[in-house]
């Protein structure tokens, strides 16, 4: 029987590309350090808006399959080899943006029974036995139905795991400190004339922005190979992301910063003293 790595990290995301934008540097770091990094993606993002004109013909299932290929390439850039679709590819459809008729599709993730979806995630937890879980806050970072549902499913799966004696030691929400975001957007305003984007997004367009005091943990990757790996992973999601380091834009063509230091809020813990620099801090790394 193959022995599990002593550190095991599970990330649960809504669509292909979310993982690279939010956690690409973190994933690259822990994969390089020999930790088990497992990504579970809940949908294929079939309703995403496509950026390159040459791929604009991709819609629905065809777009989902293309984005699965992008996800595979992105994970190769990050050195991550354990990537799973919740319940298998296509089990849950992309729900579309808030307020659209797509939200009412019985096959979409937003309409999924939380306990049933969480039971599927629990199967992964039983196999991987993660000590650390990373996902979104209750608002999904910015209110997208699939992100909110991902939070609900991941949280419920963690509860079920605890009931089964498979408790996850630490759960983190993706965050960006407001002062960091404000400083980055100030630099963007100065740099915008030299970028291939004509306008910039704003701080409130960035998911998970909170006051500095909420941040418990930061994974610093500035100037490291992990930062380069994150940018490469984001480029792999070419239907969704246009990268011009140190900035990028989504389908709205509004530039925003590419954060290579990634920030987190440890659920249930008040910040105390210096921020953690390791998601596994304080965990006994038993196999």
Which parts are annotated binding residues for Zn(2+)? Answer: 15, 18, 147
Q: Are 211 and 176 in contact (CB under 8 A)?
A: no
The residue whose two tokens read 């079939």 is: 46
Q: Are 59 and 239 in contact (CB under 8 A)?
A: no
144 by DSSP, 3-state: which? coil
Binding-site sequence positions: 15, 18, 147
Residue 49 DSSP code: P
Q: Are 7 and 36 in contact (CB under 8 A)?
A: yes
How many other β-carbons are positioned within 10 Å of the β-carbon of residue 71?
26
243 by DSSP, 3-state: which? strand
Using CA atoms, how far apart are residues 95 and 124, in angstroms rounded to an integer? 23
Integer angstrom CA distances of residue 200 from 14, 68, 230, 246, 264: 25, 28, 21, 13, 24
Q: Are 55 and 239 in contact (CB under 8 A)?
A: yes
Residue 88 CA, distance from chain mean position: 18
Q: Are 188 and 257 in contact (CB under 8 A)?
A: yes
Using CA atoms, how far apart are residues 125 and 11, in angstroms rounded to an integer? 11
Degrees, nearest 5: CA angle 202-207-212? 85
Query: Quick one: tokens of 20?
Result: 């690279």
In sequence order, which residues have a C-beta less than 8 Å from that of residue 215 and are 6 or more positions away?
Answer: 175, 177, 263, 264, 265, 271, 275
């Amino acid at each position: 029987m193959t022995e599990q790595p002593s550190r095991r990290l599970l990330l649960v995301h809504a669509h292909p590309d979310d993982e690279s934008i939010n956690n690409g540097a973190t994933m690259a770091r822990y994969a390089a350090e020999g930790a088990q990094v497992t990504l579970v993606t809940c949908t294929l993002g079939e309703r995403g808006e496509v950026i390159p004109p040459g791929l604009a013909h991709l819609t629905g299932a065809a777009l989902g399959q293309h984005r699965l290929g992008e996800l595979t390439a992105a994970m190769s850039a990050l050195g991550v080899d354990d990537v799973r679709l919740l319940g298998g590819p296509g089990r849950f459809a992309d729900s579309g943006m808030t307020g659209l008729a797509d939200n009412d599709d019985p096959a979409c993730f937003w309409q999924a029974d939380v306990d049933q979806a969480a039971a599927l995630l629990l199967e992964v937890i039983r196999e991987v036995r993660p000590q650390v879980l990373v996902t979104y806050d209750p608002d999904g970072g910015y209110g997208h139905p699939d992100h909110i549902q991902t939070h609900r499913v991941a949280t419920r799966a963690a509860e079920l795991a605890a009931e089964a004696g498979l408790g996850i030691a630490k759960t983190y929400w993706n965050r960006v400190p407001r002062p960091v975001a404000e400083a980055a957007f100030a630099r963007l305003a100065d740099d915008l004339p030299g970028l291939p984007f004509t306008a910039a997004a704003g701080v409130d367009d960035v998911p998970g922005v909170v006051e500095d005091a909420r941040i418990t943990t930061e994974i610093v990757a500035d100037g490291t190979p992990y930062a380069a790996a994150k940018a490469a992973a984001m480029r792999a999601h070419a239907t969704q992301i246009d990268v011009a380091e140190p900035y990028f834009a989504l389908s709205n063509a509004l530039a925003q910063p590419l954060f290579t230091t990634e920030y987190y809020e440890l659920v249930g813990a008040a910040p105390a003293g210096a921020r953690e620099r390791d998601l596994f801090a304080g965990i006994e790394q038993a196999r």
